[in-house]
Amino acid sequence: MHEQAFAVVDTAITAATAYQREDLADRLRLTRQQLDDPTVRVMVVGEFKQGKSSLVNALLNAPVCPVDDDVATSVPTVIRYASEPQAHLVRRPESDPPGVHGGIGADDPTEVTDPIDFASVPVYASELGNPGNEMALLAVEIGLPRRILADGLVVVDTPGVGGLGSAHTAATIAALPSADVILFVSDASQEMTRTEFEFLRAAQDVCPVTAFVMTKTDFYPDWQQIRDLNANHLSRLANPVPLFTTSAALRMKAIESNDADLNQESGYQNLIEFLLTTATAIAQEATAAVVADLRSAVGHLKGTFEGEKQILEDPSQGERLMAEFTRAKERTNALRDQAARWQVTLNDGVADLTSDFDHRLRGRLRQTSIEAEAALEEQVPGDIWDEFAEWLRRRVSHDLAQTYVELARRTDDLSQDVADHFDDGQEILQVRLDPTGALSKASAIAPRTTIESIRAGAGTKAMTAMRGSYGGLLMFGMVAQMAGLAMLNPATVVIGALMGRKAVKDDRERQMTVQRQQAKATARQFIDDTGFEVGKEMKDSLKALHRQLRDYYQVRAEEMNRSIAATMAAAKQIMASNQQQRDSRLRDVKAELGRLNGLLTQVDALETTSGTSDG
């Protein structure tokens, strides 16, 4: 079926070129490029040490991801088909501008790849060799000769989520729009946590095809009870989420012993069937998109000949048809105009997205600032600063991820609103915001790592107490002398001691106030810096999205205008011709329409074949 689709697209490109519609030919060449990349990206996500890497290794029957107990994945590991085992590092050039990006695991011509030895993958992909992804890698890409990958399946092992507010989570959520399938992994030791549930809910907003995979069922005897609890939680999500229970250990034993029953018990057979079925459905959607492009292009070509045919068969209708063509030309001219309604919808929509992004991010960061200052008022900043700084980074990352998810779900709605201004409203461009630059900027900003301590040594406290008590002793001692008592007496000593204690307390409170002010200022500075940098990057991404949508629909308007202009030119030529010329032209037009109808028959067959094979 894949070869058949290529043949039909190539035929359509040849036809468009022959009819001097290079604009349609260019469009179909892009369709062919999309057809040439039948990848289905499966993104494996979850908390640290939940068995993601073991799941990938068992799924592919290859030790491609590091799984030692003291090793965690630090950068995405992308595994796709290759005739021989190979590995590459994937980096983004410094000069790469923000915009609409394919995401982790997607082919991107702006990415830089460096080959590495297959055995050195753990050095680059794990926290042990690349802690915190200090090498600034986009991914480690691996090629394997595996049958499950041969038809375009691409598996992406991601760093641990670490809760919805972690930096890893923000980067993972940013990549989710590029995923066709999400496998969320959690082991059988306990039911899913609140943060796992929140992540799943956020993930569904940008990738509806999601499955929950419970690992390590061989290790925990009560896994059935945990499965039932998780199934109950999953039922509360907006979209259905299938649940799979798996054991990597049983899977590997089954492969070693070639035991089909043990393989079934491991749960991997059901998971593989789900992935293959989903991949088939996605391939059907891709074919439907190709079919839609073909029908649209052939429809443009047929429109000119059908207009000619009407006039050739009934010249008396020429004036009426020319009037209709003129009105159609006025409509397409309006679509090309900068003040066209679709342009207004697009401009207003992007302006609303930008305004909403700014408002929602500022609102979230403001609330985070309020909560941060409240926490600092209740604690000694110097004692909790390390934990507080980590919490602050996680919370700000949570704010960014949540704001991004809210905007990402609205981009397709905007594209559909624009497409509705065109005749059929079907030629919608699927787009997603690319927050990669914004998240990179955010990850490079960090609050100060130290706050001055207010803990004073014994000597310092003694000096402060002596300074405080000296004034009290002097003042009350003089009063005592005036009363005929000795300057140093039990009463003045007690008063001096009390005033010395108060001086120590006041000095500590003063230092505490200074420290809290310093900590609050540091927190506010971090939040402000993050908001400033992220705001700029995300607005640049929105501008890039605006340009992409504008250019796409401008081309659609130009195609429509060119088609009706060609029809009008042909009609005028026919009306100026004699009967003999009209008869000759009618035969040619019918022949051309026959060829185009034959091409449409091939398109219909392509759709039918796709539906039959996928069913």
Sheet holding 40-46: strands in order across?
A: 112-116, 86-91, 139-144, 77-81, 153-157, 40-46, 181-187, 210-215, 243-245
Q: What's the pLDDT score for residue 424?
A: 56
pLDDT tens readout for residues 349-394: 999 988 888 888 899 999 999 999 998 888 888 778 888 887 888 7
Q: Say which residue, 362 or 513, is predicted with more confidence.
A: 362
The pLDDT, as a whole number, for residue 467 is 56
Tell me how far apart the alpha carbons of residues 87 and 124 are, in angstroms, rounded to a whole number: 11
pLDDT range class, residue 15, cuts 50, 70, 90: very high
Contact 24, 296 (CB under 8 A): no
User: What is the rounded average pLDDT of the residues 543-552?
Assistant: 88
**Mind listing the pLDDT tens digit for each residue in 123-146?**
777 766 667 667 777 788 999 999
Cα separation, 402 vs 112, in Å, equals 30
What tens digit of pLDDT does each residue of 143-197 get?
Answer: 999 989 988 899 988 876 544 455 556 666 666 767 889 999 999 999 998 878 8
Would you say 514 and 344 are in contact if contact means Cβ atoms under 8 Å apart? Answer: no
pLDDT above 60: residue 425: no
pLDDT value at residue 505 = 67
pLDDT of 510 strictly over 80: no
Confidence band for 72, pLDDT divided at 50, 70 and 90: low
What 3 state SS string does 536-591 have?
HHHHHHHHHHHHHHHHHHHHHHHHHHHHHHHHHHHHHHHHCCCHHHHHHHHHHHHH
Q: To the nearest 10°, the Cα dihedral for 539, 544, 545, 548?
A: 160
Is 425 or 551 the better-scoring residue by pLDDT?
551
Which pLDDT belongs to residue 164?
A: 45
Tokens of 215: 């690992």
Give the mean model confidence (pLDDT) for residues 551-564: 87
Q: Which amino acid type is present at position 565?
A: A
Min mean pLDDT across 81-95, 140-154, 491-505, 543-557 is at 491-505
| Residue 592: predicted pLDDT | 92
Q: Quick one: 221 exposed, middle or buried, by C-beta within 10 A (0-12, 13-18, 19+)? A: exposed
pTM above 0.85?
Answer: no
> Residue 493's pLDDT is what?
56
Q: Tens digits of per-residue pLDDT, 447-475?
A: 666 666 555 555 555 555 555 555 555 55
CATH 3.90.79.10 correct for 37-266: no
What is the predicted pLDDT for the residue at 448?
63
| Torsion over CA: 510, 515, 521, 524 (sign) | negative
Percent of the chain with pLDDT over 70: 76
184 beta partners: 45, 212
**Stretch 550-562: mean pLDDT:** 87
Amino acid at 543: K
Nearest to 237 by CA among 264, 276, 198: 198
Which pLDDT score, from 0 to 100, does residue 395 have?
A: 82
